[in-house]
């Protein structure tokens, strides 16, 4: 038997690990949809499991808001292991609720909820989205139109291309100083 004739265990398993990473990166969650509309670099970093301290602080803050204000609602409904709804309400039509701290990222919040509606629609469920801003005492109703679903289809393909490619070069935008990846991009 000559050197190099057989693959080592590490060499054999490497493609499997690579494929698992690839599948993890392209698993499209609501957060990834929101990041797509905020910053492609952020989307890429998050998709590759690079998370910074402030990200988890934000998550903790969101959780606290959720628990304090919406104690009586059904919480954290996870569907298909992919979309995580803050809470839902059943009635003539299913209401999908999302909770946000501020309206600064309103556009990305809207697309995140539209993605939930798209996902449910593709599973035969007609729903309406409600974005709750408890600190502002405001709610926004999100109704999906056909064009929105077409756009989501394009966004999903684009996200896959982005996360499977090289990290997009950071572009300085207004929210950078508040972003958890600030030091990573600009430190």
Count the residues in the chain: 187
Minimum distance from CB of 96 to ligand SF4 (Å)? Answer: 27
Minimum distance from CB of 175 to ligand SF4 (Å)? Answer: 5
Interface with ligand SF4 (CB under 6 A), residue total: 12
Q: Per CB under 6 A, which region of 54-62, 84-92, 119-127, 176-184 contacts ligand SF4? A: 176-184
Whether the Cβ atoms of residue 42 and residue 181 lie closer than 8 Å to each other:
yes
Residue 39: Cβ-neighbour burial (10 angstroms; 0-12, 13-18, 19+): buried
Q: Per CB under 6 A, which region of 34-42, 74-82, 84-92, 142-150 contacts ligand SF4? A: 34-42
182 binds ligand SF4 (CB under 6 A): yes
Whether the Cβ atoms of residue 130 and residue 141 lie closer than 8 Å to each other:
yes
Question: Hey, what's the torsion of the CAs at 120, 110, 45, 22, to 10 degrees?
Answer: 20
Binding site residues, ligand SF4, CB under 6 A: 39, 41-42, 170-171, 173, 175-176, 179, 181-182, 185
């Amino acid at each position: 038997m000559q050197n190099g004739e057989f693959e080592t265990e590490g060499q054999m398993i490497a493609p499997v690990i690579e494929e698992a990473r690839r599948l993890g990166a392209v698993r499209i969650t609501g957060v990834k949809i929101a990041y797509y509309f905020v910053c492609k670099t952020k989307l890429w970093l998050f998709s590759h499991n690079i998370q910074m301290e402030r990200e988890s602080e934000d998550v903790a803050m969101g959780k606290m808001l959720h628990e304090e204000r919406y104690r009586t609602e059904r919480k954290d409904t996870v569907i298909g292991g992919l979309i995580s709804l803050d809470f839902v309400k059943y009635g003539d039509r299913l209401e999908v609720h999302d909770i946000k701290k501020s309206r600064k990222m309103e556009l990305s919040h809207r697309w995140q909820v539209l993605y939930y509606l798209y996902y449910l629609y593709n599973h035969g469920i007609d729903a309406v989205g409600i974005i709750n801003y408890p600190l502002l005492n405001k709610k926004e109703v999100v109704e999906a139109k056909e064009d929105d679903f077409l756009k989501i289809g394009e966004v999903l393909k684009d996200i896959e291309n982005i996360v499977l490619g090289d990290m997009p070069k950071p572009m300085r935008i207004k929210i950078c100083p508040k972003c958890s990846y600030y030091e990573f991009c600009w430190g």
